Chains A and B, each alone.
Chain A
Amino acid sequence: MAAWEQVLDDLVQVRGHALARYAALLTGSRAEAEDLLQEALVRCFGQVRPLRDVVAAETYVRRAMLNVFLDGHRRRKRWTGVRHLIARPAQVESPEAAAADRISVESALASLRPRLRACVVLRFYDDLTVPEIAQRLGLAEGTVKRYLSDAVGRLEDVLGPVMSSSERPDTVDIKEAR
Chain B
Amino acid sequence: MTIDLSAALHDLVDGHRPGGPPPVDVPRVRSRARRRRAVHVGAVGAVGVGTAGAVAIGAMYVTGTRDARIVLPADPSTAPSDTATLDSLVILPSDPSAAPGECGSNISPLLGTPDPTLGMRASAWSDPSAQSGERSVPQPRPLGAFASSTVYLDVVSSLPEDGAGPPSTELSSTQDTLAMVEQSYSDRLAERDAGEAVKQSVLDDLAGAVESLRTSVEQKLAAGEETAPPTALARVRVLVTQDDRVVATATLPREGQSDADAAWDRTPSGLLRETVILDLVTCTVDGVGGELLPTGTYGALVVRDGEPLTGLTGPWTIVVPPQVAVSGLPGDFPTDVVPMPPGRLLSVSGDAATGWEVQISVEGLDRLNAAAALLTDVDDAEEEALDPLGATVIVPGWSVHVVPASADGQMTLVYRVTPD
Binding site for B on A (CB under 8 A): 1-2, 4-5, 8-9, 12-14, 16-22, 25, 27, 29, 31-39, 41-49, 60, 63-64, 67-68, 71-76, 91-93, 97-98, 101-102, 104-106, 120-121, 124-125, 127, 138, 152, 155, 159-166, 174
Contact = CB atoms under 8 A, between A and B. Distances in A.
A47 B37 contact: yes
Given A63-B387, A105-B12, 5 more contacts: A12-B22, A12-B23, A45-B33, A105-B5, A124-B6
Nearest to A36: B133
B132 to A, nearest CB: 5
A21 B32 contact: no
Nearest to B41: A48
Contacts, number: 189
B131 A25 contact: no
A138 B267 CA distance: 31
Contact of B124 (A39, A97, A127): A39
Interface string B52-71: 00000000000000000000
B12 A38 contact: no
A31 B133 CA distance: 8
Given A45-B29, A46-B37, A49-B384, A71 B20 contact: no
A37 B3 contact: no
Nearest to A15: B18
Nearest to B19: A17
B263 to A, nearest CB: 15
Listed residue (B1, B24, B34, B405) with the most chain A CB atoms within 10 angstroms of its CB: B24
Interface string B1-41: 11111111111111110111011111011101111110011
B5 A38 contact: no
B111 interface: no
B269 interface: yes
Interface in B378-418: 383-389, 405
Contact of A41 (B33, B132, B269): B33
Given A46-B37, A105-B5, A165-B7, A18 B130 contact: no
B387 A106 contact: no
B347 interface: no
B129 A72 contact: yes
Given A68-B388, A124-B9, A127-B6, A32 B36 contact: no
- Mostly, the A contact residues are helix
A19 B51 CA distance: 40
Contacts of A102: 8, 11-12, 15
A16 B36 contact: no
Contacts of A29: 133
B289 interface: no
B16 A164 contact: no
What are the 10 A-B residue pairs with the smallest beta carbon separation, nearest first? A46-B36, A71-B129, A72-B131, A20-B23, A32-B133, A45-B33, A35-B133, A46-B33, A125-B9, A31-B268
Contacts of A93: 1
Given A17-B16, A47-B37, A160-B3, A34 B132 contact: no
Nearest to B18: A17
A163 B3 contact: yes
Given A31-B268, A35-B133, A39-B124, A25 B9 contact: yes
Given A47-B387, A138-B405, A76 B131 contact: yes
